[in-house]
Structure formats: C-alpha cells, structure tokens
Structure 1
Amino acid sequence: MALALPNELVAAIFHDLDPSTLAIAARASSQFKAVAERILYSSIHITDVLSEQSPHPLKTLWWCEAIRRRPHLCDFARKLYIRWQSDRSVPPVQGQHLLDACEQIEAVVQLLVALESLDLFLGPANLVRGYQDPPIHAIESVIHRCRFPNLQSCSLGADSAKNVQPYTPILTSFLVSSSTLRHLKLCDLRSGLHDLPPEALPQLSSFRGSADAAASILPGRPVRHLSLVGQDSDVNRENLHRMTCTTVPLRYLDLSAMSIRPMLLRNISTYLPTVESLRMKLTLRHTLHYSFSGIRILAGLSSVLSVFHQLSYLDLSPTGIDGVGRADSLEEHALCREWGRACPSLKTIIFPSKTEWILDLNNVWNPA
C-alpha cells in the first residue's frame, strides 16, 4: 500500500538527506522521485578535473543533458557551482571542446531564471583562442544572454595568463542587470570596470577581486567586506583612495590571498582606518624589527595597529609559521598585551600558529 503523504511533508523529510540517499529514495515511488529531484537540482555542485586522459568536463556535460531532458527542473534551481580544474597537461591549442562546452552551459544556465547563487570557474577555457568575432571571455560566452532577477551571490573566473582574452562590456551588462546582487567575486578581472554605471549594483555588500577592480566597483556602493587578490604591489595610493568612496564604512578586510609587506599595511591604515576585522598573510623577507627573533619580530606591527582605532579582530593565521618561527604561549601573550596597548579596541588575535587569543571582561588575554 502506497504512503499517502503530502509533498510538503516528504520534502521536509528529504531536506537533510545527502545526495546519494536522495537518489536511492527517488527510486521508491513516482512521488518520491518528483520531490527528490526538486531538492537534488535546487543546488548543483560540479567539479570537473581536466587531464590529458580526460580533457572533457564530463560531469558538467551530463548535468546539461539531464536538464535538457527535464526542463521543468529549471524552476527549482537556486544554487549553481561549476568548477573546472586542470592539471596543466591539457594543451590550450587542443581545447576547442572547452568552448563548445561553454556554449552548452550557456544554453542551460539562461533557463535558470530563479537562480540565487552562481559560481563559475572555467579553468583553462579562457586560455583557448576562441572563434567568436569579436572575441569574448569564456565566462562571457556563458552569461551573455543570462538574466537572474533574484541573484544574490556571484563568483566568476577562469585561469589567467598574459595576453589571454580580457573581459568585455558583456560582463558590465550582466552586472548592470543583476540589481539584487549582494556578494561578488571576480578572481581574474585585473583591470577596472570603468564603464559600470553609478546606479548599478545598489545592494552590493561584499567584493573579492583585484585592487584595480575594487577601485572601480566600490565607489558609491554599500560595500562593507573587501577581499583583495593579486600582488601587494598592485595596491597603491590611487586605488586605495577610490576604495574609501563607499557609501558605508569598510569594516572587514581580507588580505590573505596576497603576501603583505609592512609598508602596504601602513598605507592601508592611512586610507582604511575604519576596519574592524583584518585578516592577512604577512611576508617577512624584510623583518619588521631587527632586534627580535622568531615570532617577536611581529612586535614591529604595534605602530601600524595603533592607527586602526576600531580594529577588534586580527587574524594572522594565513602567515606561514616558518617565516616567524614557532612561538610559545608566553611570546604570544606578550604580543597580545603589546598590541592591546597600541590598539585598545583589539579583542581577538589569531597568530600564525593558529592559536586564538581573546580579551576577557577583566582585560586579560587568554587562549580560546
């Protein structure tokens, strides 16, 4: 005898099941299959590893074919994550099949009008010389006809190299159409988007990308979270100044994707003194303080931290521990007290050793 359960109850039961269990449940009945498919296709996570032996993004192509066979599932898609990773053995000159795969993705993705989160990283696809006239970026070949009225989060990119196809105004047009976007990552956009209209991205609250991209996107927008990628030499006084032109104070700064020299940190403290949370990877080729050894060379940060009057969270865990030497609790406690005097707003410190220290209500630093 079949179970007479409403679809809402079945969906609630299935909601926390892992994909493999859902696939098994889908074979139990036509009702279970319909509910399980809606859940399975609401959040798609695909990673294709490309190699000389397997150069095609097969998982991506299988998903595209599955959607074409079940077009009704497009209405349920909310999150899409596709990442192509290469072992670098795939010769770009033989990679035309990747551009063909991009076209297949585009034919499907443009149908996912209810999408709320889009994460596309197309690996070596943009290293292939395309046949479009005029040429466009591989990512743009996917998004150029897409419009997502409910999109909240978007991450776009591909492997980058010198003289590869840059982004064109297609990217700008896509961002202009994404008025609900709150979180944006553009990992391979090295230059700025100078033609982005002031009224675009009115709800943007976080951005991750290069310094020049940030300098062109942040002004006039309510961005509180900023993550920079690239080299610390890419960050200069000109683009730092433009990063200060947000409509709300920048509160959270993540510099863990680049190696930071003390001089850059001083410039950042000058232009972005409102930062409350700072995460960074220090480069210690030039020691901060020659009179110390081991982790005590970090004592040289005191004068820089004193400029951040609102800094409460400092995370140095991305810094390689070999660069500062292994620390013991006494050295870390001494630094906590020293930095606390220089920056009284500090409440939490994470050292390269990954040890977290917290200032308690009695103004005493203790390991978490």
Structure 2
Amino acid sequence: MALPNETLAAILHELPPSSLAAVACVSVRFNAVAERVLYASVYITEMLTESSPLPYRTLYWCEAMRRRPHLYDAARRLHIRWQASSPPAPPSPYLPNACDELARILRHLSLLESLDLFLGPANLVPGTEEHPPLHAVERAVAGCRFAQLRMCGLGADAAKGAQAYTRALGAFLGALPPVLRALRLDLAGAPPGLPPRALPALAQFRGSADAAAALLPGRPVRSLALVGDDADVTRENLPRMAATAGALRALDLSAMPARPLLLRNVSTHLPAVESLRVRLALRHTLHYSFSGIRILAGLSSVLRAFERLAFLDLSPTGVDGVGRADSLEELSLCMEWHRACPSLRRVVFPSQTDWVLGADGAWALVAAQD
C-alpha cells in the first residue's frame, strides 16, 4: 500500500477497538500502526466484587504496555475507573499492589494529554509495613511527570478511616505543566502543599465547594462544577470562588440537590454566570399554591438577580418533583423568566424539552434531548 503511515493512522482512528484488533492481524505494518492507534486512548471501567476483587483489566493493560515499551510515547488519553460492587465487598489487601503496578506504567507515559483516575475502594485498604499509609491516587501518580497534560481527574471512594491526601498530591499538582486547563478532584479542602503559582491556566474545575474556594482565587477558571451537598456552599467559601482571575461564566450544580436559597446566594456572588445547570431540590422549598410544573414559577425572583444568564438547564431535576411536562406551561415559564432575566435565551426543562428565544423575540420548542 502506498499510503504513508500518518494517513493510515488517520483512517484507523475512525475504527472501534474490535476492528482495530482485526486490522492489526493483516500485516506487520498494519499491526504497528493499529497498535499505536489502539493504545493511544484507553478507557477501562471495572467492577470489583467479592469473586473478582482485583482490577484485572487494568493489570492486563499494564502487562501489555510493559511488553510494548515502544508504545509509551503513543499514549494520549488514559481513563481508568474502579468501582465497588453494591453492597461493597471488603477491599482486597492487594489493591495497593495494583496501584503500584499502575504507577510503574504511568511514569513512562510522559506525553499523556488526558488522565482520569478513579480508584474506587483502593483507598480503603489499611496501610501495612510493606505499603505505608498513602492515598491510593498518590500511590498511582508518584514520580509521574506529564509535559502535555491538559485534563486531569483524580479520585477514590471515601469513608471514615480512609487515607487522606498528603502533601504528595500538592507536589504532583504543582509539577503539572502550565497547559493544564481542566481538573477534577474529590478532596474536601485545599490540596496539601499546593504551590501558590501552580495551575496558572486552569479554566475548568470540578470538586467540592471548599476545594473550589481554595483553588479558584487568582486562577482563570471559567467553568465550575460543584459536588456534595448544597449546605457545603456557604457565605464564607462562595466569595472565594468568585475571586477568579476573570468572571466565572459557567456553573454546574447538577451533582447536588440545590435549593432556591443556594441560587440566591450564588447570584449575589457570581452574577456574571452565563450558563447555569442545576438539579433543583423542590420539595418543601417552593410555594405549593402552584400545581405541576408551575411550581417552578417561584424561580423568577431568583433569576432576576443574574445579570448575564443566557442558558438555564434544569434537565438534571427529577420530573417527579415538578409534575409532567406541558408545553403551554413551559412556554409561559420561559416568557415569565425572560421578563425577570432579559439576558435569558435558552431553557432546558426537567422534561428534557429545549426552548430557545428566536431573533423575532418568540420562544420556540426545539427538540427533546436524548
């Protein structure tokens, strides 16, 4: 075949992994190109159960990479997620060994651009003499240096008595390249030992309110997603979240049940938000004189405080809390909210219906989201 390897690789990038594995059997040349494509993006999700307590797929991948050191520089995206079964089985005492195996490979993948690790119950294994107490994520990324990393997500299951993050996390984050733009952390507060000048280009963050309050000040974060409970967002940490190098534009509250009181507080400190995604906690919070979806009319006074809000996404809100969708009621709400918040241009309701304000000033139903 006269095609250069670069063109062949571009074609193979469009194939699913199963097809790539078949293509790799065609010839030595196809195998070499297909392998680099196949190992460039790795996504592993596995359930740890009593009968299968170890992340065998991850360990198989580690062994495969060890046998193919020529592919270290091909790896660009690595997403690994270990989940505990329900009800959870006791974590295997060999999980720290699995973290060490993962670390041995990660140290060679210096050209990674996206790394997302969620190590599930690995952090619930008590420390031993062989494996001194250390957070599972820190064990996995110890000694790693990523020159091109643009997205990083780190986490593990939390429980009473689980190993907390140490200054090793701050040292790892501080050594990340200045090109890092997106970060997800599951820690409750500030990363211990994080240098003040670290993460200079951070644009997106997902984590707890206290972690956001510690990380956002002085950094150019434009998009924030909060996890936890809405009570975690307080009058003390909200002003610190607002102290970014530029105005925060997008706020995602879909991972917590948000009461209207939280939205009022958010509008006070983050009035420049243009995109708001929220899972409303409606029961016992809004006036019951409204029936069905009209209960959402109580949001008008909240939306009035947002100066630039253009997109309101209520799709994470459970339909049971607001009744079934009615296009006339939704249209009425769109018009009412637009009067309260003139910058509003698009609304997605709990029913997944999508309404957009047209150039003629009329609201139109676009389509139901999948």
Matched residue type, 2:114? S
What corresponds to 1:116 in structure 2?
113
In the alignment, structure 1 residue 167 sits paired with structure 2 residue 168: no
Give the secondary-structure state (helix, strand or coil) at the position aligned to 2:46: strand
- Residue 121 of structure 2 corresponds to residue 128 of structure 1: no
Structure 1: which 5+ runs fail to align? none
Task: Provide the alpha-carbon RMSD of the alignment.
Answer: 1.3
1:180-199 matched pairs, under 5 angstroms? 180-186=179-185, 188-193=186-191, 195-199=193-197
- 239, 242, 260: which is aligned to 2:240? 242
- The answer as to 2:92 corresponding to 1:105 is no
Shift of 1:136: 1.4
CA displacement at 1:144 relative to structure 2: 1.6
Residues 158-217 of structure 1: per-residue CA shift (max 9 Å, x gap): 11112311111111111111122100001x211223642221100000000000000000
TM-aligned CA distance change 1:152 to 1:134, over 3 Å: same
Normalised to the residue count of structure 2, the TM-score between the two structures is 0.96
Query: In terms of mean alpha carbon deviation, does 260-269 or 189-198 score higher?
Result: 189-198
Match of 2:55 in 1: 57
Find the counterpart in structure 1 of residue 209 from structure 2. 211
Contact 1:287/1:297 (CA < 8 Å) preserved in 2? no
How many residues align? The count is 364
- Could you tell me which amino acid in structure 2 is paired with residue 213 of structure 1? A
Alignment partner, residue 363 of structure 2: 365
8 Å Cα contact 1:117/1:154 also seen in 2: yes
Match of 2:303 in 1: 305
**CA–CA distance in 1 between the matches of 2:104 and 2:96?**
13
**Structure 2 counterparts to residues 217-256 of structure 1, below 5 A:** 217-256=215-254
Q: What is the CA-CA distance between 1:6 and the residue it aligns to?
A: 2.7
| Letter paired with 2:184 | K
State the distance in 1 between where 2:20 and 2:97 align: 31
Q: CA deviation at 1:349?
A: 0.5
Structure 1 pair 309–365 and aligned structure 2 pair: CA distance change class (3 A): same
Structure 1 residue 4, shift from structure 2 partner: 4.7
8 Å CA contact 2:224–2:250 kept in 1: the answer is: yes
Q: Aligned residue for 1:294?
A: 292
For residues 321 and 350 of structure 2, the distance between their equivalents in structure 1, rounded to whole angstroms, comes to 9
Q: What are the Cα deviations for residues 77-111 of structure 1, in whole angstroms up to 9, with x where unaligned?
A: 0000111112145543x511111100000000110
Q: Is the CA contact (8 Å cut-off) linking 1:96 and 1:130 kept in structure 2? A: no
Structure 1, residues 290-346: CA drift from partner, whole Å, max 9, x if none? 321211111111111001010000000100110011131111111111100000000
Q: Counterpart amino acid of 2:160?
A: K
In structure 1, what residue type is equivalent to 2:243?
A: C
Letter in 2 for 1:142: A
- The answer on 1:70 being equivalent to 2:65 is no
Q: Secondary structure in 2 aligned to 1:99?
A: helix
- Specify which of 280, 283, 293 is matched with residue 282 of structure 1: 280
Q: Is this contact kept in 1: 2:49–2:89, CA < 8 A?
A: no
Cα distance, 1:134 vs. partner? 5.4
- Which letter does structure 2 place at the counterpart of 1:111? H
How far the C-alpha of 1:285 sits from its partner, in A, is 2.0
1:9 deviates by: 2.9
Cα distance 1:357–1:90, how it changes in 2: closer, same or farther (>3 A)?
Answer: closer
Tell me the SS of whatever aligns to 1:96. Answer: coil
Once residues 25 and 290 of structure 1 are traced to their aligned partners in structure 2, the CA distance between those partners, rounded to angstroms, is 62
1:345 maps to amino acid: S
8 A Cα contact 1:289 1:299, kept in partner? no
The amino acid that maps onto 2:20 is: L
CA deviation string 1:132-159 (max 9, x = no partner): 6752110000112111011000011011
Query: Which ranges of structure 2 fall in alignment gaps of 5 or more residues?
Result: none
Going from structure 1 to structure 2, the CA distance change for 1:366 and 1:9 (only over 3 Å counts) comes to closer
Instruction: Give 1:265's aligned residue.
Output: 263
> Which residue identity is paired with 1:330?
L
For the residues of structure 2 that align with 1:21 and 1:264, how far apart are their CA atoms? 49
